[in-house]
């Protein structure tokens, strides 16, 4: 009997080990980073990896030589990938299987041969017009569908906003469906430059606020001498680092601001309308190591109002939902497959996420894992208002990650709608969602009070009657005892 148990135990453990190796161990070992999120206390909690590295695309694979400091990337509506291969002075186009389509370095403009010089930004409209921030030539170029001929060239704008010696160094570019051309340029602190379809400068919009240390401000404003002031650093607003348009042409921007709002969503009048309803604002890492807070260099808009921001400091990708709650974090710095040295651009290719690394001169694609897929689907169902299905998916998410507070919050919402207030309150507590808890608890309390109304009222009346009776008895006793006055002051 004992021996059979022994054999059984060994067989079971061997089977488990093999199962682990086959189903999870191998796949996990291949991922060179750990997924995590931040909980309601601001602490980092481990989470399954939402995206796993899929493949790496380098210039050599395409047969066009190594990329050289590629600074920007864009995935067009027909899923073609455009890479601004900055130091090779060209734009490289690939199809959705990452096969080489063409490379653009020369074009004609008004009958003359012209070429690109250190392009740092690229954007492609759904019609196929390619906009290039041709930084080295201080201009923006629009190439018609074929990419051979430029039909619009925007040079440094002439306006009272700009000094005479202003040098136009466009670095990032986007074009909305109305044909507005939005440009982020170096040394422009007044916001995003907006040009119309004819390339005429219209105005700036969405300027960042100036941030400074109050002590510095007072010193400079009231105490510093003129000579000191001249040598001091000017207080200027932070420059934008990148921009991306969502499906209603609101502009997601990132900036290198370290203690403010590094991610903004600007409406057409330039007001920041990003929702920040999570435990913490979308700023990347909440707890920084010695390298300081996250510096976001690019942002990519996903489905259902989600967005992913790329951190250059630690090579991480932060994805938030439409309400500004952190969904998951992945990525790491390093030079293994799936890690980055100087990531410069992030884009979405269907379900996949593509990241361009400037220093390693390669594209890395990430495919969604089981955990990531469940989260994305639940977010989608929540976004379209299908809370019931979302709750089912959140339960599956919880079976993979019990520490996932957003899932508890989703389940609580569904329970609340179904009138299950007790469960809703309990789940809201797990989710640390005080608002939802309060709502559910209010219903729960009303229910209990209604149910026991008679008992409660009877108790109160009985207590009141008992108190009055006690008073009467004391009075009676005192009188009988003949005590007319009791000095009760100590």
Q: Which residues bind other proteins (CB under 8 A)?
A: 41, 43, 429, 434-435, 437-439, 441-442, 445, 489-490
Residue with Cβ nearer other proteins (227 or 455): 455
Q: CB of 271 within 8 A of CB of 319?
A: no
If residue 243 lies in a helix (H) or strand (E), which one and from where to where?
Answer: strand 240-245
Residue with Cβ nearer other proteins (383 or 441): 441
In the complex, the smallest distance separating the C-beta of residue 310 from other proteins, rounded to whole angstroms, is: 30
In the complex, the smallest distance separating the C-beta of residue 220 from other proteins, rounded to whole angstroms, is: 30
Residue with Cβ nearer other proteins (108 or 438): 438
Greatest Cα pair distance, the chain, in angstroms, is 124
Q: CB of 314 within 8 A of CB of 333?
A: yes
In the complex, the smallest distance separating the C-beta of residue 439 from other proteins, rounded to whole angstroms, is: 8
Residue with token string 């259902």 = 304
In the complex, the smallest distance separating the C-beta of residue 394 from other proteins, rounded to whole angstroms, is: 21
Give 61-122 as a DSSP string: HHTS----S--EEEE-TT--EEEEEGGGTEEEEE-TT--EEEEE-EEEETTEEEE--S--EE
In the complex, the smallest distance separating the C-beta of residue 288 from other proteins, rounded to whole angstroms, is: 20
Residue with Cβ nearer other proteins (263 or 424): 424
Find the radius of gyration of the CA atoms of the chain.
31
d(CA 333, CA 149): 40
Residue with Cβ nearer other proteins (228 or 438): 438
In the complex, the smallest distance separating the C-beta of residue 377 from other proteins, rounded to whole angstroms, is: 30
CB atoms within 10 A of CB 11: 10
Residue in 349, 350, 366, 356 with CA at minimum distance from that of residue 58: 356
Handedness of CA 59, 65, 69, 72 (dihedral sign): negative
Q: CB of 386 within 8 A of CB of 394?
A: no
Residue with token string 């041969």 = 113
Residue with Cβ nearer other proteins (395 or 429): 429
d(CA 424, CA 444): 10
In the complex, the smallest distance separating the C-beta of residue 47 from other proteins, rounded to whole angstroms, is: 18
Residue with Cβ nearer other proteins (200 or 449): 449
Residue with Cβ nearer other proteins (438 or 451): 438
In the complex, the smallest distance separating the C-beta of residue 442 from other proteins, rounded to whole angstroms, is: 5
């Amino acid at each position: 009997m004992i021996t059979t148990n022994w054999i059984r135990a060994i067989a079971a453990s061997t089977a488990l080990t093999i199962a682990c190796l086959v189903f999870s161990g191998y796949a996990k070992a291949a991922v060179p980073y750990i997924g995590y999120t931040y909980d309601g206390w601001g602490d980092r909690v481990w989470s399954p990896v939402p995206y796993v590295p899929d493949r790496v695309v380098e210039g050599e694979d395409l047969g066009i030589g190594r990329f050289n400091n590629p600074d920007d990337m864009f995935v067009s509506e027909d899923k073609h990938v455009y890479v601004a291969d900055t130091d090779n002075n060209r734009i490289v186009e690939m199809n959705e299987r990452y096969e080489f389509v063409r490379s653009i370095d020369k074009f004609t403009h008004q009958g003359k041969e012209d070429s690109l010089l250190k392009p740092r930004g690229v954007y492609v409209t759904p019609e196929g017009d390619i906009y290039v921030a041709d930084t080295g030539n201080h201009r923006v170029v629009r190439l018609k569908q074929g990419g051979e001929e430029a039909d619009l060239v925007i040079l440094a704008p002439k306006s009272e906003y700009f000094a005479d010696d202003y040098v136009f160094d466009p670095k990032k570019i986007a074009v909305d469906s109305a044909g507005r051309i939005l440009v982020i340029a170096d040394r422009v602190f007044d916001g995003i430059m907006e040009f119309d379809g004819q390339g005429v400068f219209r105005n700036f919009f969405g300027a960042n606020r100036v941030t400074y240390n109050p002590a510095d401000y007072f010193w400079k404003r009231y105490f510093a001498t003129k000579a000191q002031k001249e040598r001091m650093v000017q207080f200027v607003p932070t420059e934008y680092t990148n921009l991306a348009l969502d499906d209603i042409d609101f502009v997601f921007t990132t900036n290198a601001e370290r203690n403010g709002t590094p991610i903004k969503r600007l409406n057409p009048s330039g007001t920041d309308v990003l929702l920040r309803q999570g435990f913490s604002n979308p700023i990347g890492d909440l707890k920084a190591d010695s390298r300081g807070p996250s510096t976001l260099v690019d942002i990519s808009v996903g489905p259902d109002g989600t967005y992913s921001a790329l951190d250059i400091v630690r090579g991480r990708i932060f994805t938030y939902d439409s309400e500004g709650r952190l969904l998951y974090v992945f990525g790491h710095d390093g030079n293994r497959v799936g890690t980055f040295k100087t990531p410069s651009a992030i884009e979405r290719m269907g379900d996949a996420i593509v990241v361009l690394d400037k220093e390693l001169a390669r594209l890395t694609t990430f495919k969604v894992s089981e955990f990531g897929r469940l989260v994305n689907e639940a977010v989608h169902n929540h976004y379209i208002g299908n809370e019931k299905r979302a709750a089912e998916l959140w339960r599956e998410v919880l079976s993979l990650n019990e520490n996932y507070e957003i899932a508890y919050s989703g389940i609580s919402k569904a329970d609340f709608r179904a009138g299950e207030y007790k469960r809703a309150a309990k789940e809201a507590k797990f989710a640390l969602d005080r608002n939802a808890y309060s709502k559910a608890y209010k219903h729960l309390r009303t229910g209990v009070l209604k149910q026991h109304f008679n008992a409660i009222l009877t108790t109160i009346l009985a207590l009141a009657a008992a108190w009055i009776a006690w008073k009467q008895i004391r009075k009676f006793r005192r009188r009988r005892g003949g005590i007319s006055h009791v000095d009760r002051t100590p």
